Each structure stands twice: as structure tokens, then as C-alpha cells.
Amino acid sequence: MDINKILNADILDIIFEGRNKEYGAYELRKTYKKRLTTAILSMVGVCLLVFVGVLLANVVKSDKPVQMLVQDVQLADVKQEEKKPEPPPPPPPPKVEPPKIEITKFTPPKIVKDEEVKEDEKPPEQEKLEETTIGTINQEGEKSDVVAPPVEQSTGVVEAPKVQAEDYDKEFKTVQIEAKFPGGAAAWQKYLQRNLNSEAPVENGAPPGNYTVIVSFLVDKNGNISEVQALNDPGYGTATEAIRVIKKGPAWTPAVQNGRNVIYRQKQSVTFQVAEG
């Protein structure tokens, strides 16, 4: 195709340039738009015809009078089934009382004079006891092989529980009232301060510090002191000095347990202080 004709030529002519245009493909492509337009218009026409037909049909129907049919409906009588009365419950079985058993009252044996024995308190004969049941009442009935045990009669007196006797001669470690120095704790502190040789550890070369001795001793029922011993010994003569002072002390007020004086184990701590020189 010439250069001058290309600008004005159809795209279809350019594609089929130099090809067989009578084969059919050229003709189909060239008439494609025309056929598409014809198909669309035909479809639109068919749709319009259908729409108009439906519209006319509705108009024709609307011209006819509308009739309503009303019918009387009668409800059938439904009969409910009558409840049958429930049968009465069966009567309870008759109460069968157990047969009475022959019982002979047991009378505890007592040694009394013959004229003091009442008729109803006489003990039954031994042969009769072997053939009857022993109980607390007299009752007539059938004989049974079971023999009831005799019932002990209560006297109505309740004995108090026996309390084990306290041994007041033993050494007590806990008491109701502890032993005490005459005049109380304050007097005991004064006694120790006045009689202890506080220089005892210094005299024995103790270095600065506190030295505590725990002394144990007995206070008997009369308040006398015995068995004085040190439970520990820090050394430097502290234990010996504490024992000496407690041994030479006066009698104490004894400890009390259940209102009675008892032997009591007393403990006392004594502290010696050595200051730096």
C-alpha cells in the first residue's frame, strides 16, 4: 500500500493488505459493528414488546370487578376426655403385734428378816427361772429360749472421780506459789549486792567483760536452803563466789502447792562486770 493511502486507510485494510479478502474473514470483520448494532436493537425491541404486553395484560385484568368470597366457618366441638377418678390407695396392712413373751421380774438378792420380805419382792424359784425370760417386770406370755440379763439397780449416788494423791515430799519444779526471799525480789537484790565480792574476777585476772553464773538450789518446806550448785562456770572464781553468798543467806519463804508447803528448786543468775582499767 502506498504511503499516501496509509493515513486514510482503515485498520482492517492495513491488516489484510496482500491477503485473500474473499476468503470470508475480511467480510466478517468488516461487517462486525453492523451485525452487533442490529443484534442490540433487536434485543431492545423484543424487551419492549414483552414489557408492553405485560402492561396491557395488567390493565385488562384491572378492569374486571374484584369479588371477595366470605364463608362462615364453624368450629367443631372438641370434647375433652374426662379424667377418670384415681382408685383409692390400698389399705395399710394390718398391724401384727409380736407375741408376748413370758417374763419373770428379777429381784436382786438382799439379806433381810423374813417378816420384812414383801410378797411381790420374793425371788422366783430356780426351776421357774430356767423356763422363762428374766426382766424388770412380770409378764404372762409364751415361753422363750432367750434369757434377758439381770438389770442392775442404781442407788442414785454418783461417786466423784478418784484423784491421785499428790506426793508432797518430792521436789517440785513448778508450783502455784514460788519460794521467795524475805522481803521480796528487791530485798534479794540488795542482799546480793551487799554480800557479793564484785572484785573476785578482777583478783583472779579476768579481762574486761560480763561473767554470768546460774546457780540452782533447793528451798525445803521450812525455807532452808540446800544443794547449792552452779549450772555453769565462766571462771575466774565467779561460780565459787556466787555459791558462797547464796549458801550463807537467810531462810526463804517456802513454795506452796495446793495449800501445802513443798520442796522447790529455785534458780538465780548472778552477773559480774569487769570494767576496762
Pairing of β 209-219 and β 225-230: antiparallel
Name residue 264's beta-bridge partners.
172, 219
Average pLDDT value for residue range 264-270: 91
Tell which CATH classification among 2.10.260, 3.30.1150, 3.40.1350, 3.90.320 matches the domain 171-274.
3.30.1150
Cα–Cα distances in Å, from 54 out to 48, 49, 61, 74?
A: 10, 9, 11, 41
Between 116 and 192, whose confidence is greater?
192
A 10 A CB-CB count for 25 gives: 13
Residue for cell digits 417374763?
Answer: 103
Give the confidence band of 3 by pLDDT, cuts at 50, 70, 90. Answer: low
Report yes or no: 135 and 106 within 8 Å, Cβ to Cβ.
yes
All structural domains of the chain with their residue ranges = 1-58, 99-109+120-150, 171-274
Supply 149's cell numbers: 440379763
DSSP 18-44: TS-TTSSHHHHHHTHHHHHHHHHHHHH
Average pLDDT value for residue range 245-264: 93
Give the confidence band of 50 by pLDDT, cuts at 50, 70, 90. Answer: very high
- Report the half-sphere exposure of 68 (CA within 13 A, side-chain side): 1
Least confident of 77-91, 101-115, 162-176, 263-277: 101-115
| Centroid of chain to Cα 169 | 50
Report yes or no: 103 and 133 within 8 Å, Cβ to Cβ.
yes
Name residue 255's beta-bridge partners.
262
Measured CA to CA, the distance from residue 171 to residue 262 in angstroms comes to 8
pTM for the predicted model, two decimal places:
0.41
pLDDT at 36 over 60: yes
Between 244 and 134, whose confidence is greater?
244
Residue for cell digits 485494510?
Answer: 13
Between 32 and 190, whose confidence is greater?
190
pLDDT in tens, 100-143: 777 766 666 666 666 666 666 666 666 665 666 666 677 777 76
Cα distance from N-terminal residue to C-terminal residue, the chain: 140
Which segments of 133-259 are extended strands (E)? 133-135, 171-172, 209-219, 225-230, 255-257
Pairing of β 255-257 and β 209-219: unpaired
Consecutive H or E run containing 270: strand 260-274
